[in-house]
């Protein structure tokens, strides 16, 4: 019995002649192939289901089940139609050959076997199958990447893109855990966007420095834009990090955990995972831009509504209140008021504004004065332009502790 982990091409020889079995086994093993033997068609079908060989050498005339019936049954099994079958027969008649091809055989040889011809036939058929398998694999890869592009183009739904990327990575790598980390441009923290399984790597937000400290080889991952492996010698599984780059800079990574070590030498899978990470990064970046655009559009809509309302009101007091209400809505704050600058005495005087019901004491009383000595930042705003600062003074109001956004004008928000 051949262990299923053996990666040599596997040949299934089905023949009731033990002498023929011995010769086939000797010749094929000399070529570097592994060989399993069956004495009749029924046993051959059973061994095919169990081992999924790469090629089958099938005798035509056998007891229990002949080669034609066995070939037809194998064709109906999963993977059977893709497995080349060479019929070995003592009959060199047209009818026998035609029946063999109708049953699903790929080629045939007449007995006595010319072993040089057999070696070349097997080598050619295995190469053809390898090329066909690679082609099908590429088609599947392109289909997955196209689906990611389609999800991005049609829905801009990042959750669906992430789910598709993680599912594809898990299937291709054999990992049990997969997560996607993305670098937040504002906080500069790597944040877990999505994951399947309990990750030992993506346990919470982290800086790039923390990532490099805990997993030093990830420095090379971003420097060379190539996957890196985290595995000890003799381990059966390990972790695989796949970088996501944007404009030559780190943007995030895909972390695959408990990956079988055999995958670490599979260049085809690595190539696919690199493409997958690249498409996922592009999807995340475009979705971020789209979401930011939507936010800006929403803010502009709110500003338009506020300006339309204000333009229809002539009372100064109403304009102040409506403007403050609009600013609160736009910035999703809790309150807003206006401070009017009096150049004669060089102070700022609080005018009324808008306060949400849930925070009735959030603003200073109307008429409160602020001097340059009390709040130099406020006065600097009058002279220099917009800025943000924290207003916190229990002598003015014990509940004031909010960010004030100021604009250069006679009145300050």
In sequence order, the β-bridge partners of residue 14 are 38, 58
Q: How many domains does the chain have?
A: 3
Q: Are 273 and 327 part of one and the same domain?
A: no
In sequence order, the β-bridge partners of residue 242 are 254
CB 34 within 8 Å of CB 10: yes
Q: Is 386 a domain residue?
A: yes
Q: Is 369 a domain residue?
A: yes
Q: What are all long-range contacts of 60-67, with beta carbons under 8 Å and residues at least 24 apart?
A: 60/87, 60/88, 60/89, 60/90, 60/91, 60/96, 60/100, 61/89, 61/90, 62/14, 62/15, 62/16, 63/16, 64/40, 65/40, 65/41, 66/41, 67/14, 67/41, 67/100, 67/103
Q: Is 100 a domain residue?
A: yes
Q: Are 125 and 181 part of one and the same domain?
A: no
Per-run averaged pLDDT (10 residues), the chain, 413 residues: 55 93 94 94 94 92 90 90 87 72 85 90 88 77 70 66 86 90 88 90 90 89 88 85 90 92 75 84 78 69 63 57 65 67 75 60 69 67 51 37 33 36
CA-wise closest residue to 272 among 302, 240, 303, 238: 240
Residue-range definition of the domain harbouring residue 178: 156-290
| pLDDT for the residue 12 | 95
In sequence order, the β-bridge partners of residue 58 are 14, 87
Q: Is 269 a domain residue?
A: yes
| pLDDT for the residue 146 | 73
Q: Are 120 and 186 part of one and the same domain?
A: no
| pLDDT for the residue 372 | 67
Q: Are 167 and 219 part of one and the same domain?
A: yes
At 55 the three-state DSSP class reads strand
Q: Are 166 and 269 part of one and the same domain?
A: yes
DSSP state of 394: T
| pLDDT for the residue 182 | 92
CB neighbours of 82 closer than 8 A, spacing ≥ 6? 129, 132, 133
């Amino acid at each position: 019995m051949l262990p299923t982990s053996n990666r040599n091409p596997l040949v299934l020889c089905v023949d009731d002649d033990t002498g023929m079995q011995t010769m086939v086994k000797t010749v094929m093993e000399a070529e570097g192939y592994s060989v399993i033997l069956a004495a009749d068609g029924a046993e051959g079908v059973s061994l095919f289901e169990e081992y999924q060989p790469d090629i089958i050498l099938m005798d035509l005339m056998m007891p229990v089940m002949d080669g034609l019936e066995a070939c037809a049954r194998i064709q109906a099994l999963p993977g059977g139609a893709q497995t080349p079958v060479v019929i070995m027969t003592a009959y060199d008649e047209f009818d026998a050959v035609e029946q063999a091809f109708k049953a699903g055989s790929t080629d045939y040889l007449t007995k006595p076997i010319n072993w040089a011809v057999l070696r070349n036939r097997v080598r050619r058929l295995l190469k053809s199958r390898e090329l066909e398998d690679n082609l099908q694999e590429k088609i599947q890869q392109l289909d997955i990447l196209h689906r990611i592009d389609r999800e991005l183009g049609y829905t801009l739904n990042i959750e669906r893109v992430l789910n598709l990327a993680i599912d594809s990575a898990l299937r291709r790598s054999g990992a049990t855990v997969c997560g996607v980390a993305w670098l937040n441009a504002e906080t500069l923290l790597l944040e877990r966007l999505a994951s399947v399984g309990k990750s030992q790597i993506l346990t919470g937000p982290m800086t790039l420095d923390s990532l490099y400290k805990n997993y030093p080889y990830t420095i090379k991952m971003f420097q060379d834009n190539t996957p890196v492996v985290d595995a000890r010698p003799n381990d059966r599984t390990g972790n695989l990090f796949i970088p996501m780059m944007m404009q030559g800079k780190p943007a995030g990574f895909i972390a695959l955990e408990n990956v079988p070590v055999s995958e670490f030498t599979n260049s085809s899978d690595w190539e696919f995972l690199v493409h997958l990470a690249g498409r996922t990064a592009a999807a995340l970046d475009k979705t971020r831009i789209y979401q930011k655009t939507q936010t800006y559009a929403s803010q502009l809509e709110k500003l338009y509504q506020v300006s339309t309302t204000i333009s229809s009101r002539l009372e100064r007091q109403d304009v102040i209140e409506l403007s403050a209400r609009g600013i609160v809505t736009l910035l999703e704050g809790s309150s807003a008021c206006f401070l009017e600058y009096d150049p004669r005495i060089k102070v700022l005087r609080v005018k009324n504004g808008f306060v949400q019901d849930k925070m009735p004491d959030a603003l200073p009383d109307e008429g409160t004065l602020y001097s340059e000595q009390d709040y130099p930042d406020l006065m600097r705003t009058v002279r220099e332009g917009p800025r943000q600062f924290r207003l916190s003074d229990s002598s003015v109001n014990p509940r004031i502790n909010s960010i004030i956004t100021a604009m250069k004008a006679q009145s300050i928000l």
